[in-house]
């Protein structure tokens, strides 16, 4: 469980959530990395700002959600269990929806269409049909992904925000789910059925992100906390950028308060190579240095430009990578 009070020295507690007062908020995918941060942050902020809101989350595993979010710790929380890979459902009338149901990794033995594409499209359809049925024009935050742009050439240091019409058709189920979901919501936006925004999210890190899965930064932290050298599986020259969850939450809440159907990116613009990142993690943990396992792997970039989003929503990145990594490492050690 993420204790937001551990990060109260950040700018998170400065986020004004008065626009959500007396509103019903539905977060679909409320137990994932981003969903959990949104749930915990809204609960924390509603308490310190004395803002009343009704929060509902959807999850495939209600018992796991109850362990993660003890309802006694929340002012108002309803947990609904449903597997959207099986179909759609009437969600009811809400003022705000967050579509964050798409997992970022696949479990062995499960078809990628079932784990990525079907849940995303069925949730999007459920939101649209619920908005159409109840006619209250809810605001919708659709968590899209920078993967919709396809391959980012190595020479392109910042992936510029671009119009949806340039997106390619994809046979990758994760990427296709994001592209189709964006297109579905853009259509009903034009029909005034709802008011949606689909920011394209890049790479994030911090409390709640698994350190034993396919996330390079998580693997680096795990190596360091195990007292071993940091192992780089791919090219040491590959470029990434990382945003801390308190900044991510701030940007997301800003965007759902005033949704704009524009092609925004969300992420950090500070590019860092895998070698630089691994060296930094080593210095903060094991101090055992870095090992290159496959240095011949071709390098790639995945770093966004966020100029458009920042100018429209008047936000900035507040947590530096070094500070965020230090907070994350302290948090992991505290859980042990």
- Tens digits of per-residue pLDDT, 118-172? 999 999 999 999 999 999 999 999 999 998 888 777 777 788 887 654 455 566 8
Q: Give the range among 62-66, 128-132, 171-175, 297-301 with minimum mean pLDDT.
A: 171-175
Residue-level length of the chain:
336
Bridge pairing between strands 96-99 and 144-145: unpaired
The strand pairing partners of 200, in sequence order, are 144, 265
Q: What are phi and psi of 139, to 5 degrees?
A: -90, 140
Token pair, residue 41, equals: 């942050």
Mean pLDDT to the nearest integer, 180-194: 95
Question: Is residue 84 domain-resident?
Answer: yes
Alpha helices in 69-172 (DSSP H): 112, 118-134
Mean pLDDT to the nearest integer, 59-77: 88
Q: What pLDDT does residue 8 have?
A: 56
Bridge pairing between strands 195-197 and 139-142: parallel
Q: Identify the CA nearest to 251 among candidates 195, 315, 201.
A: 315
The answer on pLDDT for 5 being more than 70 is no
What domain count does the chain have?
1
Q: Which residue range forms the structural domain that includes residue 62?
A: 18-204+243-269+304-318
Greatest pairwise CA separation for the chain in angstroms? 59
The CA distance from 216 to 297, in Å, is: 15
Q: What percent of the chain has pLDDT over 70?
A: 92
Question: Is residue 212 domain-resident?
Answer: no
Q: What percent of the chain has pLDDT over 90?
A: 75
Question: Is residue 101 domain-resident?
Answer: yes
The CA distance from 221 to 217, in Å, is: 6
Alpha-carbon torsion, ordered 130, 131, 133, 134, to 10 deg: 110
The CA distance from 194 to 137, in Å, is: 4
The residue among 158 and 95 whose pLDDT is bigger is 95
Q: What is the pTM of this model?
A: 0.93
Question: Is residue 178 domain-resident?
Answer: yes
Q: What pLDDT does residue 109 have?
A: 44
DSSP H or E stretch at residue 297: none
- Cα 183 to chain center, whole Å? 19
SS3 324: helix
- Cα 225 to chain center, whole Å? 25
The CA distance from 279 to 318, in Å, is: 23
| Per-chain mean pLDDT for the chain | 90
Q: What pLDDT does residue 98 have?
A: 98
Question: Is residue 171 domain-resident?
Answer: yes
Question: Is residue 296 domain-resident?
Answer: no
The CA distance from 324 to 336, in Å, is: 19
Find out whether 65 and 1 touch, Cβ atoms under 8 Å.
Answer: no
Find out whether 30 and 39 touch, Cβ atoms under 8 Å.
Answer: yes
Q: Identify the CA nearest to 60 among candidates 98, 105, 115, 109.
A: 115
SS3 249: helix
CATH number at residue 113: 3.40.50.720
Question: Is residue 278 domain-resident?
Answer: no
Find out whether 208 and 104 touch, Cβ atoms under 8 Å.
Answer: no
Question: Is residue 174 domain-resident?
Answer: yes
Q: What pLDDT does residue 108 have?
A: 41
Q: How many CB atoms lie within 10 A of CB 57?
A: 26
């Amino acid at each position: 469980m993420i204790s937001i009070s551990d990060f109260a020295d950040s700018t998170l507690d400065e986020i004004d959530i008065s626009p959500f007062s007396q509103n019903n908020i539905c977060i679909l995918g409320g137990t994932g990395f981003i969903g959990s941060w949104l749930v915990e942050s809204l609960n924390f902020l509603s308490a310190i700002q004395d803002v009343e809101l009704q929060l509902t989350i959807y999850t495939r595993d209600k018992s796991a959600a109850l362990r993660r979010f003890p309802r006694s710790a929340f002012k108002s929380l309803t947990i609904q269990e449903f597997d959207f890979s099986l179909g759609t459902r009437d969600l009811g009338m809400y003022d705000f929806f967050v579509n964050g149901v798409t997992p970022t990794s696949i479990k062995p033995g499960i078809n990628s269409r079932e784990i990525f594409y079907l849940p995303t499209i069925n949730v999007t359809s459920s939101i649209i049909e619920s908005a159409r049925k109840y006619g209250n024009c809810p605001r919708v935050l659709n968590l899209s992904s920078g993967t919709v742009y396809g391959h980012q050439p190595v020479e392109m240091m910042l992936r510029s925000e671009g119009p949806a019409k340039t997106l390619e058709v994809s046979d990758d189920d994760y990427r296709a789910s994001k592209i189709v979901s964006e297109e579905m919501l853009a259509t009903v936006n034009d029909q005034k059925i709802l008011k949606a925004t689909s920011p394209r999210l890049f790479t994030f890190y911090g409390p709640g992100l698994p350190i034993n899965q396919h996330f390079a930064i998580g693997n680096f932290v795990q190596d360091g906390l195990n007292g071993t050298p940091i192992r780089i599986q791919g090219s040491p020259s590959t470029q990434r950028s990382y945003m801390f969850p308190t900044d991510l939450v701030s940007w997301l809440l800003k965007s759902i308060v005033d949704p704009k159907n524009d092609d925004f990116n969300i992420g950090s613009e500070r590019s860092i190579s895998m070698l630089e990142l691994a060296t930094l993690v080593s210095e903060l943990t094991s101090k055992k240095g870095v090992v290159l396992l496959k240095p011949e792997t071709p390098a790639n970039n995945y770093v966004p430009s966020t100029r458009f989003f920042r100018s429209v929503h008047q936000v900035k990145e507040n947590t530096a990578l070094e500070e965020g990594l230090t907070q994350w490492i302290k948090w992991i050690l505290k859980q042990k």
